[in-house]
């Protein structure tokens, strides 16, 4: 009889702690993070390059937009993508490397790394590597050239919460290439050492602006993860957000730092696109001002990657 009572006590205690932990953990899906709503921008490219109507997708309330008007985030969506409209030398050209794809009763986002070319005899001959990217922020359309593409982005959104973790569903298909490709548009296409990996980056930053309009930041929270192999869907994958200076943690890797990098831009109070100078690790108890979250089919930055890499993403949320 004592054993029966002991067993029931263990069961009750286990249930109590399980229920308590469940009650303490809450997942908030980011706006439009279920990837079920998409804008279909139907843009006719210039006749000199074929005049085809291309579909350029954005994550926002479902809508069809016809014409080559520059896009701005709609319906409260925090998401921008690498899908853009460019106008170079009077030629309208689009790039689509992020697509809605049917998944169950809804959709997910498919991010592809691919080559994109524009060739017009005597005017322009451009081949660029375009990685699929979805990120919190905006794009300043139309794109007018391939020089310093990051300056055309506003990276991050205002955000003052301190979630415990990032959670999402994902699937990966890796390219067979052992080296990456660098194709910037005007220089020759070259190989880059090292394999290409899809990646997710989450930065919680505390930003401020000086009197001259320069923007600085401390890093408050960090997630940087690469995906190293092909895999089927992984649902509710959860990645801890590490707070403060993480260089002493066993999980720390050099590519998580990115401090003092100027590849991320924002718009300052003067309306200028300026680099975000990340100058220090913040204290783990500090409150962030901005959230930058990016999913990408290639990890090496602009114009570097392996055609054939694909990352699928769905149900993006934050765990509290």
pLDDT surpasses 50 at 51: yes
CATH code of the domain in which 164 resides: 2.60.120
**Domain total of the chain:** 1
pTM over 0.85: yes
How far apart (Å, rounded) are the C-alpha atoms in residues 86 and 147? 13
| Tens of pLDDT, residues 181-223 | 999 887 789 999 999 999 999 999 999 999 999 999 999 999 9
Tokens for 110, please give them. Answer: 């498919």
Q: Is residue 203 part of a domain?
A: yes
pLDDT at 124 over 70: no
pLDDT of 263 over the 70 cut: yes
In a domain, 70, yes or no: no
> Which tokens sit at 120?
């017009």
> Is 255 inside a domain boundary?
yes
Average pLDDT over residues 238-265: 86
pLDDT tens-digit series, residues 60-119: 999 999 999 999 999 999 999 999 999 987 889 999 999 999 999 999 999 999 998 877
Residue 238 forms part of a structural domain: yes
The H-or-E segment that residue 18 falls in is helix 2-24
- Encoding tokens for residue 231? 């895999």
Does position 22 have pLDDT exceeding 50, yes or no? no
Q: What angle is formed at CA 221 by the lines to CA 173 and CA 80, rounded to 5 degrees? A: 50
Per-residue confidence (pLDDT) for residue 187, from 0 to 100: 79
Sheet-wide strand order for 190-192: 190-192, 180-182, 304-305
Q: Name the residue among 194, 208, 50, 31 with its Cα closest to residue 118.
A: 50
Q: Is residue 69 part of a domain?
A: no
CA 292 to chain centre: 8
4, part of any domain: no
Tell me whether residue 232 is in a domain: yes
| 124 falls within a domain | yes
Tell me the percentage of the chain whose pLDDT exceeds 70: 89
User: Containing domain of residue 173, as a range?
Assistant: 88-319
């Amino acid at each position: 009889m004592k054993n029966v009572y002991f067993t029931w006590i263990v069961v009750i205690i286990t249930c109590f702690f399980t229920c308590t932990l469940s009650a303490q953990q809450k997942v908030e899906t980011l706006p439009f993070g279920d990837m079920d709503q998409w804008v279909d921008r139907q843009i006719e490219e210039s006749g000199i390059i074929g005049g085809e109507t291309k579909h350029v997708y954005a994550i926002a309330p479902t809508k069809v937009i016809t014409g080559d008007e520059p896009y701005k985030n709609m319906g409260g969506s925090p998401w921008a993508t690498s899908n853009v409209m460019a106008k170079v030398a009077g030629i309208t050209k689009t790039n689509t490397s992020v697509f809605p794809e049917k998944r169950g009763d809804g959709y997910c986002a498919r991010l592809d790394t691919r080559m994109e070319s524009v060739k017009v005899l005597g005017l322009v001959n451009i081949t660029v590597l375009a990685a699929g990217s979805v990120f919190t922020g905006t794009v300043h359309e139309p794109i007018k050239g391939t020089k310093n593409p990051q300056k055309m982005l506003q990276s991050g959104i205002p955000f003052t919460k301190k979630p415990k973790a990032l959670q999402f569903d994902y699937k990966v298909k890796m390219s067979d290439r052992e080296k990456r490709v660098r194709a910037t548009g005007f220089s020759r296409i070259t190989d880059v050492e090292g394999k290409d990996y899809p990646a997710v980056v989450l930065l919680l930053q505390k930003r401020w602006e000086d009197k001259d309009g320069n923007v600085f930041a401390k890093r408050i929270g960090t997630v940087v993860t690469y995906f190293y192999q092909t895999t089927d869907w992984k649902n509710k994958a959860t990645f801890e957000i590490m707070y403060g200076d993480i260089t002493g943690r066993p999980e720390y890797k050099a590519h998580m730092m990115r401090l003092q990098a100027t590849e991320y831009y924002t718009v300052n109070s003067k309306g200028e696109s300026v680099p975000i100078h990340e100058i220090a690790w913040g204290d783990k108890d500090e409150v962030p001002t901005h959230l930058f979250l990016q999913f990408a089919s290639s990890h090496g930055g602009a114009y570097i990657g392996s055609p054939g890499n694909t990352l699928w993403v769905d149900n993006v949320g934050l765990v509290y």
